């Protein structure tokens, strides 16, 4: 819930300036607040930067005041949508069944859902990290369809605590093993306080196919620095 039209245009201008000089090895996706989707989408399209939304409803339409259906997002030019973000799970009490329904709605509309999973500090310290994340994954994923999975260790977001490369590698390896026949086709993103300072190490970690950037994405220079740290595949 950050950003204005002026800030969005400045972001797109700065990103475009960098892309005019050099291409990143990363595929870039921006998921702004709903109020900025149309304007930012217009600016990003010529840059070959994808557009995504931060959430969608589980129904395509209906009497759900304040919500957005996946077909509406498609109409605005979105190709992706985040579902089950840790903040949605925490503050809106979204459970796995709700996240799964949203992911299914996204797929039905032609969007690729980015399904988020992750454990709290208490769950990790009590040795439940894998059981919690595994349960979330099993309960949140549609049975079929192209998806992206983002691992968000809640305990490492805005807390001053950082997941080590070993922590990330272990959980991403676990997630890959739980994806079964979808493992090779599914991108795994890491989303725990990614910054320019830790991006290169994170992106070089086995089974990390990309990053879900939070606060650092508010500054175009930081976002570009993270993108530039992406190794050639």
Annotated binding site: 158, 193, 214-215
The count of residues in the chain is: 233
Residue 5 CB contacts under 8 Å (≥ 6 apart), including other chains: 35, 36, 39
Looking only at the bridges linking them, the beta strands covering 187-190 and 210-211 are parallel
The label of the residue with tokens 């175009």 reads: 220
**DSSP letters spanning 84-98:** S-HHHHHHS---HHH
Retrieve residue 221's tokens. 């220079």
d(CA 217, CA 32): 10
Nearest Cα neighbor of 80 from 55, 62, 61 is 55
Q: Does 152 qualify as catalytic in the annotation?
A: yes
Catalytic residue among 18, 50, 57, 85: 85
Q: What is the phi/psi pair of residue 88, to 5°? A: -70, -40
Angle (CA) 79 82 85, round 5°: 175
Q: Does 18 qualify as catalytic in the annotation?
A: no
31 within 8 A of 80, measured Cβ to Cβ: yes
Residue numbering of the annotated binding site for substrate: 158, 193, 214-215
Q: Which residues are catalytic?
A: 85, 152
């Amino acid at each position: 819930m950050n950003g204005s039209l002026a800030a969005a245009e400045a972001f797109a201008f700065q990103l475009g300036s960098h892309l005019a000089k050099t291409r990143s090895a990363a595929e870039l996706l921006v998921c702004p607040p709903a109020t900025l989707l149309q304007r930012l989408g217009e600016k990003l399209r010529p840059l070959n930067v994808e557009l995504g939304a931060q959430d969608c409803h589980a129904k395509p339409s209906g009497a759900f005041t304040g919500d957005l259906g996946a077909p509406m997002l498609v109409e605005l030019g979105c190709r992706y949508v985040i579902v089950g973000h840790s903040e949605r799970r925490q503050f809106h009490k979204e459970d796995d069944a709700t996240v799964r329904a949203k992911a299914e709605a996204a797929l039905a509309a032609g969007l690729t859902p980015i399904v988020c999973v992750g454990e709290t500090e208490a769950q990790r310290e009590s040795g439940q990290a894998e059981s919690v994340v595994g349960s979330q994954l099993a309960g949140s994923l549609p049975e079929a369809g192209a998806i992206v999975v983002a691992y968000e260790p809640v305990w490492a977001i805005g807390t001053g605590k950082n997941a080590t490369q070993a922590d990330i590698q272990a959980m991403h390896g676990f997630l890959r093993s739980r994806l079964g026949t979808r493992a090779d086709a599914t991108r795994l993103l890491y989303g725990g306080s990614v910054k320019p300072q830790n991006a290169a190490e994170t992106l070089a970690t086995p089974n990390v196919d990309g990053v879900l950037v939070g606060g650092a994405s508010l500054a175009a220079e930081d976002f570009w620095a993270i993108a530039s740290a992406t190794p050639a595949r």
